[in-house]
Amino acid sequence: MRITETSVKRVLTRTSGYLRGVTSHSLQPYRGCGFGNALCGEYCYVKHNTYVTRGRAWGSFLEVRTNAAASYLESVVRERKWARREGGEFGVFLSSATDPFVPQEKKYGVTQSVLRAMIDEPPDTLIVQTHAATVANHAELLSQLKACARVHITIESDRDRLPGLPAPASSVESRFDAARALRDAGLTVVITVSPLLPIENPRAFFTRCAGCAEAVIIDHFIGGDGTETGSRTRRTRLPDVMESVEAGTTELAYREEMVAIAREIMPGRVGVGARGFAGEFA
Ligand code: SF4
C-alpha cells in the first residue's frame, strides 16, 4: 500500500445522497482505506468512486490528512451555523469513505486528533462508524464526547469468513468484545448489520447484539450501496457468494425476515436502512 501525507482544504463535507438525512456533514481523516483488501473492501461502495480513487486500485493507497483536526477547527463555527440555518443540527459522520480506525491510525493518530478537536468544539451529533475492533482502545477519548457520540460498529454476519472472500478487518468476536467494552464505558453503541450478509443463527446473533448495544441497524446492499437496485454490489463477487452460502439472501425479503426476528428480540431498538442510520428505531 502506498501511504502519503497530505493536507485537505476542507475536511468537513456537507452531505448529500444516502447520508443527507443522517448528518449534515461527513469527515474523512484519510482518503483511501487501510481495510480496502479486507472483506468489507469487497462490497465497499467507495471503491466505485473515481473522484476518490483517481484510477488507483482500492486498498492500494492511503492519503493521511495530517491537518484534519486543524481544518475541522478552522471551519466548525461556519459549518455549524450553516447546518442550523438549514433547519437542522450540526452532525458529523466519521467516516463514510474510509475507516477512522484503519491500522495506520496507530502511527498517524489523525482520527484521535480530530476527536480531541471535537472535545473543544463538539458537534450536536457525532456518529463514529467503524469495522475495527481497535475502536475500543479509544474508549477514554470517546467517553469525553459521549453527550453527542454514537459509536456504530459494523458486524454484518455471525460468520467470520465467506468462501473465496478475504478475512474481515476484525473478527466477529473481537467486534462484539469492542461493542461491550465501549458500552461498559458508558457510550451509546449501535451494531450496524450493513450490508446484511447470510447469518447462520439469527436468533443467537441478535440476542448477542441486544446484550452489547443499544440498537441494531439492518441494511441490505439493495438500496444500501448508493443505488436503488444494488447495482454497484451486483458488479462484485459478493452476491454469488451470498447465494452459495444461503439462497435468497440477495433479495430484500431476506432483510425483512431478519428485521422481524431482530424486532422480536430487541423491540424498539431496530433500525432499517437510511432511516435507521438517522436514529429511527422501532
Ligand atoms: S472500512 Fe469502510 S471504507 Fe474501508 S474498505 Fe471497508 S467499507 Fe470501505
Domain at 47, CATH number: 3.20.20.70
Domain annotation covers residue 152? yes
| Residue entry with cell 475507516 | 99
Domain annotation covers residue 282? no
- The finding on whether 99 has its CB within 6 A of some atom of ligand 1 is yes
Domain limits for position 115? 2-277
- What is the predicted pLDDT for the residue at 221? 95
Domain annotation covers residue 67? yes
Residue 6 has pLDDT above 90, yes or no: yes
Domain annotation covers residue 219? yes
Nearest Cα to 24, choosing from 154, 152, 151, 127? 127
Q: What mean pLDDT comes out for the span 230-259?
A: 96
Residue 17 has pLDDT above 90, yes or no: no
From atom 8 of ligand 1, which residue's Cα is the shortest distance away? 44
Instruction: Give the chain's domain count.
Output: 1
3-state secondary structure at position 55: coil
Neighbours of 119 (CB within 10 A): 10
- What is the predicted pLDDT for the residue at 20? 87
Highest mean pLDDT: which range of 86-90, 104-108, 228-232: 104-108
Domain annotation covers residue 174? yes
pLDDT band at 14; cut points 50, 70, 90: very high
Percentage of the chain exceeding pLDDT 90: 93
Domain annotation covers residue 124? yes
- Atom nearest to 33 CA in ligand 1: 4
CA of 99 to the centre of ligand 1 (A): 6
Residue 225 has pLDDT above 90, yes or no: no
Find the distance separating the first CA and the last CA of the chain, reported in whole Å: 42
pLDDT band at 84; cut points 50, 70, 90: very high
